[in-house]
Amino acid sequence: MSEFFRKLLEKQAETESTVTVRNKYEWFEDGFIFWFEPYFEYLPYEVMVELLKYLNASDRNAMAQACKGFYEGLKHPYFLRSTCLHIHEIEFEDNVEPVRSLLTAFRFFPNVKLTKITFGNRSDFWAEFGESIEELTFDNCVMWKQKLLSILRYTYRLKRLTIEDCPDLFRSWKIIENVTVMLCPTLPQLRHIGLAGNNKLEEHHFDFIVGMAPKLESLDVSNCFKGIDAAHRFKMLGHVLRFLTDHQHDIRHFFIGDTPIDNLFLRHLADIKGLRLSSLSLMVCDKVPSTEAGIIDLIRLQTNLTYLDLSKSLELHDSCLIEICKCMPMLETLILNRCWMITDYGILAIKKLNRLKHIDLTNCDRISDTGIMGGLLTHNRQRRLRKLYLGLLTNIGEVVFTKISFELNNLTVLDLGGCSNCINDRSIQYIFYHMTGLQELNLDCCAKLTDAGITGIDLPECAISIWDIQMTFSISDLKRLRILNLSGCYRVTDHSLRTKFQLQELKELILNRLQISDLGVEMLAVNCPSLEIIDFSECQNVNDRCVEIISKNCTRITTLKLQNCSEITDEAMDHLIKHCTTLKHLNIRGCYKISAEAEARLVTIRTLRHVLSNEREEIASDGK
């Protein structure tokens, strides 16, 4: 046997000194040896790109750090376009990081988002990368009209422009400006303009911005006319209606959600006969009249809708929902969040919508078992529906939910937050058995859940019991789970974390107000290596040892919430500083044992963007 190993070592030395030729098999006189080495860098470039498409963004980045071939694959235009460059809370100048480093980058940035940015002097960033930018977002930025136009004149390939919650821009915007400086640029490829959250928006602001897009197809003015006087809101809504009338044959997506809409506006919107929308978002707050109801006429006109969001429409009643189900056969997304007037009678009509993929009935508290059974659980619903939101529906019983888990087994997102009546140890077992494809599960405040239901151990009654066959299931059966919310499930303890939390793809975990300690956190960090967001808020037994375990084992952690964890001290901050190289957001409010000196040392974490501390101050370090 020693002679065999000697020859094996000699053979390896020979292959290393010459041109490497890797075969599947090697032959020695002492026996037949299987020889195989997976060198991914020698895979064809096209194959690498296809393999990377199956992974999410964080997994792709991890693969790129492990293999040079996959790193080269990430430079493919497909991945460059799907990546967002997000710069947060800096003064945007060439000599400030990360702008200084980005100016030497080898790649381009099709999608750029700027949050809470203060613009300084002229930057070469836009001249360098503006040609490649296709989507640009300004979120709560301090800027003015001249700066906006100086940026947009480089982005002539822009397809989507979002200016969200930027009051300083419109407050300082004058009607009469220097014409030589303020020429309106034309963006021929611009298809979407978002102006959500700008209460200071005036008519001349609106006309100037939409005038840059001759081929505009999508307009978002959500939450723009809320909290202002009625006269101003009436004037601006009328101006938006005139724009829609003039461009009725071009606009396909219109969003005006979170803004009180009356019947008069709906009547005028329904009178635009050439308007054929694919997406619509609005909030009906005026009582629907029995005759000449604008919402009914609008529904009958927009028969091509695939996306409809009626969130917070407090006056939307069953007759409107019945008309929606009758006139919109192409509907794929229906959001009725907080539509309190909807009852079982209206929900029964949803069975006509055969193409539904996403339905949100959160906080529609008049819906009961009858509506769910007759409207959702139909024979043509099983294959298409992927996202179901039933949060705060307290009138749903355990039997109906068991039926949901059996028939809607292709769901990827299930929200049952606050459904404390239907979720218990027995009903949760049917989720684990039937819905193995779930990627997001919300069980917030389902207080009847215990360790027995999560683990399938010591259940008083087995989920499946036929003759001498007894079967139970656990949360580890949800192999594809990525987001899990167990906030307020106070009967779930360390026992669940130690025994059945083998979730390799779990990215986000919320464990607020749970009785967990370092014993459970230790196994959690080992069995869930992909964790990026962890919330331990108000977990009284979480201490410095827990933070040490997380910082050492969860190498992808970006967000850690420790609000009101009274056992956290300066030692935990030292562990974060030493081991966390990817941490971006940290919440330590209510952790009164942490000193001001320890908080100040957190700025040494280079990736850290945002810290919520005890004094309600925000400590931020520059980062992208």
188: domain CATH number is 3.80.10.10
Evaluate whether residue 101 is within a structural domain.
Answer: yes
Contact 337, 362 (CB under 8 A): yes
Higher pLDDT, 270 or 82: 270
Cis peptide before 77 (omega within 30 of 0): no
pLDDT bin (cut points 50, 70, 90) of residue 16 is very low
Boundary-marking domain end, from 231, 261, 291: 261
Co-location of 98 and 155 in the same domain: yes
- Looking up tokens 């009582």 gives 287
Residue 10: is it exposed, middle or buried by C-beta count within 10 angstroms (0-12/13-18/19+)? exposed
pLDDT, position 286: 74
In the predicted model, is pLDDT for residue 177 greater than 70? no
- Same domain assignment for residues 208 and 243: yes
- Picking from 78, 86, 87, the residue whose alpha carbon sits closest to that of residue 55 is 78
Angle of the 263-270 helix axis to the 294-301 helix axis, nearest 10: 30
pLDDT at 472: 92
Q: Is residue 284 one of the residues assigned to a domain?
A: no
Task: Give me the pLDDT at residue 80, please.
Answer: 83
Query: Which domain, by its residues, includes 519?
Result: 507-613
Q: Are 160 and 128 within one domain?
A: yes
Domain-ending residue, one of 261, 293, 328: 261
Mean pLDDT score across all residues of the chain:
88
Give the pairing type, strands 610-612 and 585-587: parallel
The percentage of the chain sitting over the pLDDT mark of 90, rounded to a whole number, equals 66
52/112 same-domain check: no
Question: How is residue 201 written in tokens?
Answer: 């928006």
- Min mean pLDDT across 19-23, 138-142, 332-336, 544-548 is at 19-23
Residue 509 phi/psi, 5-degree rounding, is: -135, 125
The confidence band for 622, taking pLDDT boundaries of 50, 70 and 90, is very low
* Residue 39 pLDDT level (bands cut at 50, 70, 90): low
Other C-beta atoms closer than 10 Å to the C-beta of 435 total: 21
The per-residue pLDDT for 595 is 92
Residues 216-255 pLDDT 10s: 999 999 999 887 888 999 999 999 999 999 999 999 999 9
Task: Looking at the structure, tell me whether residues 56 and 189 fall in a common domain.
Answer: no
pLDDT for 623 = 43
Distance CA 24, CA 17 (A): 19
Q: How many domains does the chain have?
A: 3
User: What is the tens place of the pLDDT at every residue in 393-445?
Assistant: 989 988 888 889 888 989 999 999 998 888 999 999 999 999 999 999 999 99
**Residue with the larger pLDDT of the pair 539 and 28:** 539
Lowest mean pLDDT among 249-258, 281-290, 513-522: 281-290
**pLDDT, tens digit, for every residue of 379-402?**
665 678 999 999 999 899 888 888
Burial of 393 from C-beta contacts in 10 A (0-12 / 13-18 / 19+): buried
pLDDT (average), residues 534-540: 96
Cβ neighbors of 79 (< 8 A, separation 6 or more) are 49, 52, 60, 73
Residue 118, beta-bridge partner list? 91, 142
Task: Judge if 102 and 189 occupy the same domain.
Answer: yes
Q: In this model, does residue 290 exceed pLDDT 70?
A: no
- How far is Cα 613 from Cα 285, in angstroms, rounded to an integer? 39
Considering the domain architecture, whether residues 133 and 156 belong to the same structural domain is answered as yes
Question: Cβ distance 391 to 364 under 8 Å?
Answer: no
Spatial CB neighbours of 13, under 8 Å, sequence gap ≥ 6: none
Give the helix ranges, DSSP H, for 53-133.
57-66, 68-73, 77-82, 99-102, 125-129
CB 45 within 8 A of CB 72: yes
d(CA 253, CA 247): 12
pLDDT tens-digit profile of 55-83? 888 888 888 887 777 888 888 888 888 88
* Whole-number pLDDT of residue 620: 47
Retrieve residue 338's tokens: 């907080």
Confidence of residue 108 (pLDDT cuts 50, 70, 90): confident
Whether 157 and 189 have beta carbons less than 8 Å apart is answered as: yes
Rounded Cα distance, 546 and 550, in Å = 6
Report if residue 255 sits inside a domain.
yes
Question: Which residues does 343 contact at the CB level (< 8 Å), separation at least 6?
Answer: 318, 366, 367, 371
251 in the same domain as 235: yes
User: Which candidate, 441, 383, 375, places its Cα nearest to that of 409?
Assistant: 383
| Domain assignment present for 444 | no
Amino acid at the residue 248: Q
- Helix or strand holding residue 534 (H, E): strand 533-535
Looking at the chain, the whole-number percentage of residues with pLDDT higher than 70 is 89
pLDDT at 619: 47
The confidence band for 126, taking pLDDT boundaries of 50, 70 and 90, is: very high
Distance, in Å, from the CA atom of 133 to the CA atom of 136, rounded to the nearest integer, reads 7
547 in a structural domain: yes
pTM, 2 dp: 0.89
Give domain status of residue 61, yes or no.
Answer: yes
CA distance linking residue 279 with residue 291, whole number of Å: 26
In sequence order, the 6+-apart residues with CB closer than 8 A to the CB of 568 are 542, 543, 544, 547, 562, 588, 591, 593, 594
Q: Are strands 413-415 and 387-389 parallel, antiparallel or unpaired?
A: parallel
Query: Is the per-residue pLDDT at 287 higher than 80?
Result: no
Say if residues 278 and 306 touch (Cβ distance below 8 Å): yes
Structural domain includes residue 419: no
Mean pLDDT over 18-47 rounds to 56
User: Do 122 and 74 sit in the same domain of this protein?
Assistant: no
Domain identity same for 61 and 89: no
Whether 595 maps to a domain, the answer reads yes
Q: Which of 223, 238, 261 is the last residue of a domain?
A: 261
Closest CA to 422 of 461, 460, 448: 448
Examine the domain organization and report whether 120 and 196 are in the same domain.
Answer: yes
Based on the domain organization, do 255 and 144 belong to the same domain? yes
Q: Name the DSSP class of 130.
A: G
